[in-house]
Homo-oligomer: A and B are copies of this chain.
Amino acid sequence: MEIKQVILLRTDLKMSIGKSVAQACHASLESYKLADKKSVKSWERQGMKKVILKVDQETILDTYKKVKGEKLPCYLVKDAGRTELASGTITALGIGPTEEDKINKFTKDLKLL
Contacts and interface: CB of A to CB of B under 8 A. Distances in A.
A34 B50 CA distance: 20
A61 interface: no
Chain A, interface SS category: mixed
A20 B25 CA distance: 11
Q: How many copies of the chain does the oligomer comprise?
A: 2
A28 interface: yes
A18 B48 contact: no
Contacts of A7: 21-22, 25
Contacts of A86: none
B50 A17 contact: no
Interface residues of A, number: 26
Contacts of A54: 18
B18 A52 contact: yes
A16 B48 contact: no
A92 to B, nearest CB: 10
A98 to B, nearest CB: 15
A113 to B, nearest CB: 4
Interface in A4-61: 5, 7, 9, 16-18, 20-22, 24-26, 28-29, 32, 47-48, 50-54
